[in-house]
């Protein structure tokens, strides 16, 4: 083999090799999203809403199937028990047991507060896709708890169901765990910061089990979600996510 031919083949081999750091930002976000939710899951968690003069706690059970189906039940306190939220593809409903009615949540209300918390309806049922509704680009490298991580800017695509001007996420490099999100409004102002802490094994994978959402301009306001248990890859199909199942706690 001639020297020039050998050099050409070596160059092709080098260019064909794609190490971890050569992945594009969209692939990193996709892996992080899949790591958090799996194909199917059932999660037991508590949500504590903190305000300067009061605190409220909810117990929740949430089911999901891929990105398009989710069902959330409020288990406690007693006055809210039975309230549920259903997402099927692009439609979202709420079951109100006090008045025995299913209410459809329009897209215009997806950014409204979920049950009085600092999370939005969209945060909980994920109407917007962090993979499909944004463009993604690397901003910088950083560290979280001594782990190397990427900072990635997500900008909504035209006509995507997103109100944020941009979102900046921090994802660890070794295990694709999202650890922080910063949400910016149309004026470029930082509105909310979500930190994801207490990474430990749950459901057979390493997960952040404490999520804290803090609105930056509202002193003393914070909402904390803590995972109690998670099961992944459980047998669920589309039929489970029905208005009939909204009416009864599974």
Asked whether residue 13 is domain-assigned, the answer is no
* Structural domain harbouring 47: 21-246
Asked whether residue 33 is domain-assigned, the answer is yes
Burial class (CB in 10 A: 0-12, 13-18, 19+), 114: buried
Please write the tens of the pLDDT for every residue from 10-42. 443 433 344 445 689 999 999 999 998 889 999
Token readout for 213 is 């959402």
To the nearest whole number, what is the mean pLDDT of the chain? 89
Please write the tens of the pLDDT for every residue from 149-177. 999 999 999 888 788 999 999 999 999 99
Q: Which helix (H) or strand (E) element contains residue 121?
A: helix 121-125
Q: Quote the CA–CA distance of 134 and 235 in Å, as a whole number.
A: 30
Q: Which of 123-127, 143-147, 182-186 has the lowest mean pLDDT?
A: 123-127
**Is it the case that residue 127 has pLDDT exceeding 70?**
no
pTM of the full structure: 0.85
Token readout for 86 is 């259903």
Q: Which residue has the higher pLDDT, 155 or 7?
A: 155
Asked whether residue 5 is domain-assigned, the answer is no
Token readout for 36 is 């958090």
Q: Quote the CA–CA distance of 230 and 44 in Å, as a whole number.
A: 6
Give the SS3 label for residue 56: strand
Asked whether residue 55 is domain-assigned, the answer is yes
The per-residue pLDDT for 225 is 97
Asked whether residue 3 is domain-assigned, the answer is no
Q: Are 230 and 43 in contact (CB under 8 A)?
A: yes
Q: Quote the CA–CA distance of 230 and 234 in Å, as a whole number.
A: 10
The per-residue pLDDT for 108 is 82
CATH of the domain at 155: 2.50.20.10
Q: Per-residue DSSP letters for 65-108?
A: ETTTEEEEEEEESTTTTT-EEEEETTEEEEEETTTTEEEEE-GG
Average pLDDT over residues 107-117: 88
The per-residue pLDDT for 21 is 52
Query: Which residues, including other chains, have CB under 8 Å from residue 200's CB and lie 6 or more apart?
Result: 206, 207, 209
Q: Quote the CA–CA distance of 32 and 131 in Å, as a whole number.
A: 10
- Considering its fold, how many domains does the chain have in total? 1
Please write the tens of the pLDDT for every residue from 198-250. 999 999 999 999 999 999 999 999 999 999 999 999 999 999 999 999 998 86
Q: What are phi and psi of 25, to 5 degrees?
A: -65, -35
Radius of gyration for the chain, computed over Cα atoms and rounded to the nearest angstrom: 21
What residue has token string 């189906």? 69
Asked whether residue 94 is domain-assigned, the answer is yes
**Is it the case that residue 7 has pLDDT exceeding 60?**
no
Distance from chain centroid for Cα 208: 11
Q: Are 193 and 181 in contact (CB under 8 A)?
A: yes
Asked whether residue 2 is domain-assigned, the answer is no
**Is it the case that residue 126 has pLDDT exceeding 60?**
yes
Share of the chain above pLDDT 70, in %: 90
């Amino acid at each position: 083999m001639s020297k020039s031919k050998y050099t050409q083949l070596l160059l092709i081999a080098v260019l064909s090799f794609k190490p971890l750091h050569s992945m594009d930002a969209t692939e990193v976000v996709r892996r992080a999203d899949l790591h958090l939710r799996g194909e199917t899951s059932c999660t037991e968690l508590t949500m504590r809403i903190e305000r300067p003069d009061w605190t409220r706690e909810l117990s929740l059970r949430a089911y999901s199937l891929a990105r398009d189906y989710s069902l959330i039940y409020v288990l406690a306190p007693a006055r809210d028990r039975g309230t549920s939220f259903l997402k099927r593809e692009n439609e979202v409903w709420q079951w109100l047991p006090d008045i025995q009615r299913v209410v459809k949540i329009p897209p215009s209300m997806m950014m409204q507060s979920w049950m009085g918390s600092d999370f939005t309806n969209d945060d909980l049922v994920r109407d917007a896709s962090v993979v499909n509704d944004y463009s993604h680009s690397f901003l910088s490298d950083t560290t979280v708890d001594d782990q190397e991580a990427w900072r990635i800017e997500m900008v909504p695509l035209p006509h995507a169901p997103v109100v944020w001007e941009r979102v900046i996420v921090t994802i660890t490099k070794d295990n694709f765990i999202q650890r922080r999100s910063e949400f910016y409004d149309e004026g470029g102002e930082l509105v909310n910061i979500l930190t994801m802490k207490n990474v430990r094994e749950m459901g057979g994978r390493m997960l952040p089990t404490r999520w804290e959402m803090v609105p930056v301009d509202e002193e003393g306001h914070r909402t904390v979600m803590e995972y109690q248990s998670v099961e992944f890859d459980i047998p669920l199909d589309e039929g489970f996510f029905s208005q009939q199942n909204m009416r009864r706690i599974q």
